[in-house]
Amino acid sequence: MPLEPFGVSKPLTLGVELELQLVSLSDFDLVDASPDMLDLLSRRKFPGNVVPEITESMIEISTDVHTNHAELLAQLREIRDTLVHAGDMLNVGVCGGGTHPFQNWSERKIFSKPRFKEVSTLYGYLAKQFTIFGQHVHVGCSSGDVALRLLHSLNRYVPHFIALSASSPYVQGRDTLFNSARLNSVFAFPLSGRAPFLLTWEEFQSEYFAKMEHTGIVKSMKDFYWDIRPKPEFGTIELRVCDTPLTVERAAALACYLQALCCYLLEGMEAPPREEDYLVYNYNRFQACRFGLDGTVVHPQTHEAKTLREDILGTLERIAPFAAALGAEQALEHVRKTAQAGSDASYLRDKRAQCGSTEGMVNEAVLRFRENFEMA
């Protein structure tokens, strides 16, 4: 099937998707509760959308389309409250975090949905190991050409979002020494990584997608697990590198940091992207995954090296006027505090040390997600 035309979307509008963990409140392991959770939520008004994910111990929520931080955060909080209330009725905890710290992937159950069954058949055990949890952010673009230019202009900022959202230091009961170990599971898929360096939608459609489709490897954009990918059916680009944060407040702040960055880039405030910018891409991305905000990144055009913390704080200063125009000052202040104080990965390590167990750490993550929960 040919790639569909790039849809019409209002520039810089936002949508957020969060993959969330469902955990038992007795032992804090993952629990196969998504069928019961989805059934319960289908019988009440849900402020957004909720769907299953590949295994039954996860769900994915998505917001409506928003234009500013205040309305996005308000809906995410309403979604959070609805989920927590439903979880309380089922004795199930809901929480963020990019990985569950001690779950055994072989015990996971694939959700009964044709696409998930196809993915499981194709990728084998990787499908169950894909019980990882990410935040995806959609940004509206006026055309496919704009989407591709923006996608590649963002390449040097991808490590910012990895480091700021990092919340997956533990896997299979062990500290991986990574701040975002989740992305190591994503990288195992053959169609992960970055999009090809094409800057017009016509070229992308005819010179890349049509040829890939002809090979039989892909059928739609869903088959690509790129760090950022175009979504023609929505008229957006989709950033996919973020771990799911522990709070919806951080999720909203990250989304609006991206929105302000996109506004800044669309105004031509930086040199156009070049294919050679990607020479340092994998190195910078690794630094963000492994060391988080303390990682060192190399600017793709000036070759200047900085810590991610320094680079983020400098970027916040440059984009402040654009954030103000979008009503995103509060979001950028949240990002600034995160860059200075540390990510959710640091928080989880601190809680693990305080609690003395990974089970206690998961309990803290459940409590963190429900902070300021208001009973419906």
Q: Which of 125-134, 139-148, 169-178, 222-231 has the lowest mean pLDDT?
A: 125-134
- Amino acid symbol at 19: E
pLDDT given for residue 375 in this prediction = 63
Residue holding tokens 């308000």?
A: 74
Gyration radius from the chain CA atoms: 20
Contacts of residue 38, defined as CB under 8 A and 6 or more positions apart, other chains included, come to 50, 51, 52, 59
Percent of the chain residues topping a pLDDT of 90: 84
Dihedral Cα 345, 61, 41, 74, nearest 10 deg = 80
> Quick check: 1 pLDDT over 70?
no
C-alpha distances in angstroms, 268 versus 146, 163, 263, 265, 281?
12, 25, 9, 5, 21
> Quick check: 275 pLDDT over 70?
yes
Max intra-chain CA distance, the chain: 56
Contacts of residue 358, defined as CB under 8 A and 6 or more positions apart, other chains included, come to 101, 102, 170, 173, 352
DSSP tag of 334: H
Percent helix, strand and coil across the chain, each to the nearest 5:
50, 15, 35
pLDDT in tens, 87-133: 999 999 999 999 999 998 888 888 888 888 887 887 787 777 778 99
State how far the Cα of 291 lies from the Cα of 163, in Å rounded to an integer: 8
> Quick check: 72 pLDDT over 90?
yes
C-alpha distances in angstroms, 259 versus 15, 71, 131, 263?
10, 14, 28, 6
pLDDT given for residue 2 in this prediction = 75
> Quick check: 241 pLDDT over 60?
yes
State how far the Cα of 222 lies from the Cα of 352, in Å rounded to an integer: 36
Averaged pLDDT score across all residues of the chain: 94
Q: What is the pTM of this model?
A: 0.96
Quick one: pLDDT band at residue 376, thresholds 50, 70, 90? low
CA angle (231 as vertex; 225, 235 as ends), nearest 5: 160
- 3-state class of 360 per DSSP? helix
C-alpha distances in angstroms, 84 versus 45, 91, 156, 363?
14, 10, 36, 14
Question: Both tokens of residue 91?
Answer: 């004795």
DSSP 126-172: HHHHT---EEEEEEE-SSHHHHHHHHHHGGGGHHHHHHHH--B-EET
